[in-house]
């Protein structure tokens, strides 16, 4: 029998195939503002709220960075951002098996709702915690702890699923088990040591191992 009552998910790079769009939009803003672009550094920063990233990349021009980024990303998102394969089916299965579900993301509330609505999965979550709901962001545990509070659960009763070091560090600090996915911003090899519940290459494998608790064949 599965030992969790709730499964909490990161959004970008975990459920949504949005990392290429984030990188493309960010590169365009760097070019427009004539800032030096480092894709590796930008990729590693995915998972930090835009307001924090803007200060990191543009300093006292942070507001300009945000104002340029949002319309570019929103336009690209409408055309290019999709769920990773079998994500909707996975979420439906998790809920059908009786688990509570939640989103814990560093996106703002409007961007999160827009993304969930576009993907058609808004109704599949019992709680959604965004950057607008907390003062401290991942890798701080506050967002995950907020989701647990909303669900009236203890850390031992939840699993967090994500794709980045920020996700893993937040989960560890919150006292919840962490499951990684190999298709996000960090490689399987880098993420594995930080994931107490393992790293998974497909949602089918995730369901088999952690939801149905079936051993590897």
CB proximity list for 140: less than 8 A, separation 6 or greater: 170, 173
Alpha-carbon gap, residue 37 to 22, rounded angstroms: 13
- The dihedral through the CA atoms of 57, 193, 160, 97 has a sign that is positive
10 flagged as catalytic: yes
Of 10, 12, 17, 163, catalytic: 10
| E-strand stretches of the chain | 6-9, 16-17, 82-83, 100-104, 127-129, 158-162, 177-181, 199-200
Q: For residues 27 and 29, what is the distance between their CA atoms, to the nearest angstrom?
A: 5
Say how far residue 59 (Cα) sits from the centre of its chain.
25
Angle at CA 55, nearest 5°, toward 54 and 56? 90
> Which residues does the annotation mark as catalytic?
10
């Amino acid at each position: 029998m599965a030992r969790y009552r709730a499964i909490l998910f990161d959004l970008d790079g975990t459920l949504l195939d949005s990392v290429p769009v984030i990188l493309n939009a960010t590169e365009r803003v760097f070019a427009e503002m004539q800032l030096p672009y480092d894709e590796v550094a930008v990729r590693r920063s995915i998972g930090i709220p835009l307001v924090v990233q803007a200060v990191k990349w543009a300093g006292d021009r942070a507001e300009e960075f945000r104002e340029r980024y949002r319309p570019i990303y929103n336009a690209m998102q409408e055309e290019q951002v999709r769920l990773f394969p079998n994500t909707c089916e996975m979420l439906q299965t998790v809920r059908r098996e009786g688990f509570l579900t939640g989103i814990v993301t560093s996106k703002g509330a409007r961007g999160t709702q827009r993304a969930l609505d576009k993907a058609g999965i808004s109704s599949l979550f019992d709680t959604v915690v965004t950057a607008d709901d907390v003062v401290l962001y991942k890798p701080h545990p506050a967002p995950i702890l907020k989701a647990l509070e909303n669900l009236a659960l203890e850390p031992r009763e939840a699993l967090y699923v994500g794709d980045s070091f920020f996700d893993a560090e937040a989960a560890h600090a919150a006292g919840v088990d962490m499951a990684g996915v190999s298709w996000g911003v960090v490689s399987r090899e880098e993420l594995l040591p930080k994931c107490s519940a393992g790293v998974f290459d497909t949602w089918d494998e995730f369901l088999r191992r952690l939801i149905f608790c079936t051993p590897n064949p």
